[in-house]
Amino acid sequence: MKKTILVVDDFENTLKVTSFVLNKEYRVLEAKSAKIALKMIENEKVDLFITDYNMPEMNGFEFVTTLRQNIKFLKTPIFVLSTETKKEVKDALYKLGITAWVQKPFEIHILKALISKIL
């Protein structure tokens, strides 16, 4: 059975490209916002989260905080893909327990290698 990855990004192009590239090897779920993602995972087993940081309604920090407060996702790997460059933002997310930070624009083979290593 394929591992499940939930990709969360409000920018449709990034959402679709990331999903398309990963869909051959993994079961990929897509959410255009963190709030939609939180509704989706109520009845889903997710093996890896890939999320943007800069999103409306709920940003990546708030999303990761919410995930880490749920015992079901306490240890689930989380990758943040973002254009954000502030070191304090990255440091705060690592303190929350993210697994990896991938700077946008990113190279697909690097993302795939990170995912393969983690899963």
Position 58 pLDDT exceeds 90:
yes
Beta-bridge partners for 33: none
Dist CA 33 CA 44 (whole Å): 16
DSSP assignment of 14-71, as one string? Answer: HHHHHHHHHTTTSEEEEESSHHHHHHHGGG---SEEEE-SS-SSS-HHHHHHHHHTSG
The residue to which tokens 């093996």 are assigned: 47
pLDDT of 90-105, one tens digit each?
999 999 999 999 999 8
Total domains present in the chain: 1
Q: The CATH number of the domain where 102 resides is what?
A: 3.40.50.2300
Count CB atoms within 10 A of the CB of residue 64.
Answer: 22
Dist CA 88 CA 10 (whole Å): 22
> Which structural domain range is residue 97 located in?
4-118
* pLDDT, tens digit (0-9, with 9 covering 90-100), for 20-51: 999 999 999 999 999 999 999 998 999 999 99
Q: Using one digit for the tens of pLDDT, what is the confidence trace for 60-80?
A: 999 999 999 999 999 999 999
